[in-house]
Structure 1
Amino acid sequence: MISSILFAVQSTVPNTYTSWGLSEFLYITGACLLCLLIIPRVVWYPHVGPKMPLPFPSVFNNPSVATFLAAMAAGHILGVGAVLGLTNLGIL
């Protein structure tokens, strides 16, 4: 049996989901590119293993596949955090 208090609480909780569109895509893409520019320069061994065939190897520090995957993972974490934070603030 559901208490009526739960219905009162549920109606006061704001709707925090977002509909993913072009602006959210751009925020996550920008975060991924930023991480791809920074992370290969701060990883201890960015060139160990097979190289990632990127279009501008000197700009991205010619990272290995593992470094590229780490940069993309960090970029998605930062991008999704930024999108959710900006959505909660009402900016997006």
Structure 2
Amino acid sequence: MIYLSLLAAVPPTPEWSPKIAIVMILCNILAIAIGKLTIKYPSADPQLPSPQMFGGMGLPALLATTSFGHLLGVGAILGLTNAGAL
């Protein structure tokens, strides 16, 4: 049996603030650094307009690392919010 009150339980989500933006930016930078070190072919085609800005990474590697960075950022933001740090 599913309880309706359990279905209505939603964790608190914070409103946007500069602290939240900094956490997301740091998580994306961390993910790009991890991706740069671990992706087998980081400079695969198609290339970015200025690939040296991202350390020679191609578009697929950049999309993959920033997607991973956003997943890390969401987890970090929700975790820090529930811990009371944000």
Give structure 1 regions of 4+ aligned residues with deviation exceeding 6 angstroms: none
Aligned to 1:3: none
Let me know the Cα RMSD of the aligned residues: 2.5
Q: How is 1:43-62 mapped onto 2 (pairs within 5 angstroms)?
A: 43-54=39-50, 57=52, 60-62=54-56
Task: State the secondary structure of the residue aligned to 1:18.
Answer: coil
Q: 1:23: how far off?
A: 0.5
Q: 1:84: how far off?
A: 0.3
Aligned to 2:72: 78
Aligned to 1:34: 30
Q: TM-score, normalised by structure 2?
A: 0.78
Q: TM-score, normalised by structure 1?
A: 0.73
Aligned to 2:81: 87
48, 55, 58: which one pairs with 1:64?
58
Provide structure 1 residue ranges, at least 5 long, that are not aligned to the other structure. Answer: 1-5
Identical columns (%): 31
Task: State the secondary structure of the residue aligned to 1:80.
Answer: helix
How many residues align structurally? 81
Task: State the secondary structure of the residue aligned to 1:26.
Answer: helix
Contact map agreement 1:41 1:61 (CA 8 A) in 2: no
Bigger Rg, structure 1 or 2:
1
